[in-house]
Amino acid sequence: MNTVLIIDDDTELAALFGEYLQQEGFGVDIANDGATGLAKALSGEYQLAILDIMLPDIKGTEVLAKIRAESRLPILMFTAKGDDVDRIIGLESGADDYVPKPCTPRELVARIRAILRRVQRDTATSSGPIVAGPLKIWSEKRKALWFERDLELTSTEFNLLETLASHVGHIVSKNELSEKALGRPLARFDRSIDVHMSSIRQKLGTQQDGRSYIQTVRGQGYQMIKA
More confident site: 187 or 108: 108
Q: Is 97 helix (H, G, I), strand (E, B) or coil?
A: strand
Tens digits of per-residue pLDDT, 87-123? 888 888 889 999 988 889 999 999 999 888 877 754 4
Q: Is 101 helix (H, G, I), strand (E, B) or coil?
A: strand
CATH of domain 124-224: 1.10.10.10
Q: Which whole number is the average pLDDT over 52-72?
A: 92
pLDDT at position 118: 78
Alpha helix positions (H), the chain: 11-23, 34-41, 60-68, 84-92, 105-119, 155-166, 174-181, 192-204
What's the angle, vertex CA 75, arms to CA 73 and CA 81, rounded to 5?
175
pLDDT at position 48: 96
pLDDT at position 123: 40
Residues 6+ apart with CB under 8 A from 220: 171, 173
* 186: confidence class by pLDDT, cuts 50, 70, 90: confident
d(CA 115, CA 181): 8
Position 125 pLDDT exceeds 70? no
Nearest to 35 by CA among 15, 71, 63, 10: 63
pLDDT at position 82: 64
pLDDT at position 124: 43
pLDDT at position 139: 83
DSSP state of 212: B
pLDDT at position 126: 52
pLDDT at position 79: 86
- Domain residues of the chain, as ranges? 3-119, 124-224
What superfamily would CATH give domain 3-119? Response regulator (3.40.50.2300)
pLDDT at position 87: 82
Nearest to 64 by CA among 18, 140, 5: 5
Position 40 pLDDT exceeds 70? yes
Position 146 pLDDT exceeds 60? yes
pLDDT at position 122: 42
pLDDT at position 8: 96
